[in-house]
Structure 1
Amino acid sequence: MLELAPSLLSANFYNLKEDLSKLKKTDVKYIHLDVMDGNFVPNISFGPGLIKSLRPYTDLIFDTHLMIENPEKYVEDFVNCGSDIITFHLEATKHPHSLVQKIKSYGKKAGISLNPSSLEQDLVYLLEDLDLVLVMSVNPGFGGQKFIDSQLNKIENLRKIKEEKNYNYIIEVDGGIKSTNVTKAIESGAELIVSGSDVFKAEDLIDRVNEYYDIFKRY
């Protein structure tokens, strides 16, 4: 089933509680949390402290996307702050399989993210163990970028592998997604849609989320 994961990075940080309250009035089940360290990507966002402070105010699934170097050093921190899914980048660690197992050992779902330059073939030996594969359709680090259409082939290939092997990973897409272009990602095989500025910067957040779910109902 198609789901939307609004990206907190584009929310109103002056009043996050208000934005979360608005999401409560919609069908949204996920919130996407972009953690950036200023090293793996050229930007800094927030860490486990902020995530922990939000946890008491919502029962949304915390879809935590680690855009950080050596994520294995910080997994326990993100487990303890309330993350439900922990996704790291393939290039950020020397031992991705071990890190997947470590995340799962805490009872959390494990995902791996692919940059636009990353190859889905490099994930083949890991796919059976993954709960999620995140395809970045922009270069990670900043919101508001334009969707890179070449990533649609990557999504399609991941869908084919999933169907052929009967794997269970969710195919997530993040970057440049708007209600006006989301159908091409869906038709390629995306199942969990991350959208930031198009949701949180909309004139009416609730109406925009409902617009996405109206589109989802067509598939």
Structure 2
Amino acid sequence: MKISASLLSCDTAYLGDTVVELERAGVDFVHLDIMDGHYVENFAFSPKTVQDLRRITNLPLEVHLEIDNPERYITAFAEAGADLIIVQLDVCRHPIRILDTIHKYGKKAGLAVNPGDSFERIKYFAEYVDYVLLMSVEPGFGGQKFERSVMGKVRLVKTLFEECDYQIPVGLDGGVSLENIGAIREAGIEVVVVGTALFSQEPLSQVVAAFKGL
């Protein structure tokens, strides 16, 4: 299982230094939540943030667009250096068109599904996505409580992909901790997005190793 470090929970006064430390600690991805104050009641990061971080790390940069009208910003984040662009399925009026646009820039495309949303729509876009991110909290803020009901959705999604022979990695985002990582790993999740639990303890290298089960 791979670890994607969510920068939403870190001290942004030391953002660059934190990313360098994360790379040394052995995380697999850097996760940037992009928030516009409309889709969610919070603001976070921009294409300039992605551009600046791209200069100092070789880690893949995941950009999670928790914004309205994501189609307007694909170009900006692709050109800034994002490796994977994730859009919220519930705000995509034309998901296939958006996913195709992401691929035209040579980037990987992901879809995120909220805890209360049906996963059934995913199967209609499976051939267009490289990654599915299941939200285990409502998007918008770090430090939220893990929604245990999403584990049932994890099993259903994994079963669907196996039956249809889709080789699509499934990630989980929100409330991930050392207390629930065992159950998440057993459910077959390939990637966990970790924020608060990652940055609330030190040193980072030991915390990352604990999450990876090393």
Pair in the same fold by TM > 0.5? yes
Counterpart position of 2:47: 48
Provide TM-score, normalisation by structure 1: 0.94
| Match of residue 88 from structure 2 | 89
**Residue deviations 1:153-178, cap 9 Å, x none?**
11111111121222122101000001
Quote the Cα distance in structure 2 between the aligned partners of 1:55 and 1:42. Answer: 27
- Give the TM-score, by structure 2 length: 0.96
CA drift at 1:33: 0.7
C-alpha distance in 2 between matches for 1:165 and 1:26: 36
Aligned to 1:74: 73
Aligned AA (1:176): G
Query: C-alpha offsets along residues 69-98 of structure 1, whole Å, 9 cap, x if unaligned?
Result: 110011000101110000001111210111
Question: Is the contact between residue 51 and residue 81 of structure 1 (CA under 8 Å) also seen in structure 2?
Answer: yes
Q: Which runs of 4+ in 1 moved over 6 A?
A: none
Conserved 8 A contact 1:66-1:87: yes
Q: Quote how far apart the aligned CAs of 1:26 are.
A: 2.4
Distance across 2 between alignment mates of 1:155 and 1:109: 21
The AA in structure 1 aligned to 2:156 is N
Alpha carbons 1:128, 1:168 under 8 Å: kept: no
The AA in structure 1 aligned to 2:180 is: N
Once the two structures are TM-superposed, the CA of residue 12 in structure 1 deviates from its matched residue by: 1.8
Equivalent pairs counted in the alignment come to 214
1:90 & 1:18 partners in 2: Cα distance? 33
Counterpart residue number, 2:162: 163
RMSD: 1.1
Which AA in structure 1 matches 2:120? Q
Cα contact 1:153–1:188 (8 A) shared by 2: no
CA contact (8 A) 2:3 2:191 kept: yes
Structure 2 Cα separation of the partners of residues 109 and 206 of structure 1: 28
1:197 corresponds to:
196
Report the alpha carbon displacement of residue 51 of structure 1 after superposing the two structures with TM. Answer: 1.1
SS across alignment from 1:194: strand
Structure 1 counterpart of 2:117: 118
Counterpart of 2:170 in 1: which secondary structure?
Answer: strand
- Is 1:211 aligned to residue 210 of structure 2? yes
- Percentage identity across aligned positions? 36
Shift of 1:24: 2.3
Which residue does 1:101 correspond to in 2?
Answer: 100
Q: Is this contact kept in 1: 2:25–2:204, CA < 8 A? A: no
Q: Equivalent residue for 1:26?
A: 25
Does 1:172 find its partner at 2:200?
no
Aligned to 2:153: 154
AA in 2 matched with 1:42: E
d(CA) in 2 for partners of 1:127 and 1:187? 23
Q: Once the two structures are superposed, what CA deviation does each residue of 1:23-78 show, in whole Å capped at 9, x if it has no partner?
A: 12222120111001111111111111111111110011111110001100110001
Verify the 8 A CA contact 1:115 1:139 in the aligned structure 2. Answer: yes
Distance in 2 (CA, whole Å) between partners of 1:20 and 1:47 is 16
* CA distance in 1: counterparts of 2:83 and 2:127, whole angstroms: 19
Q: Secondary structure at the match of 2:44?
A: coil
1:145 deviates by 0.5
Structure 2 partner of 1:184 = 183
CA positional deviation for 1:17: 2.2
Match in the other structure for 2:64: 65
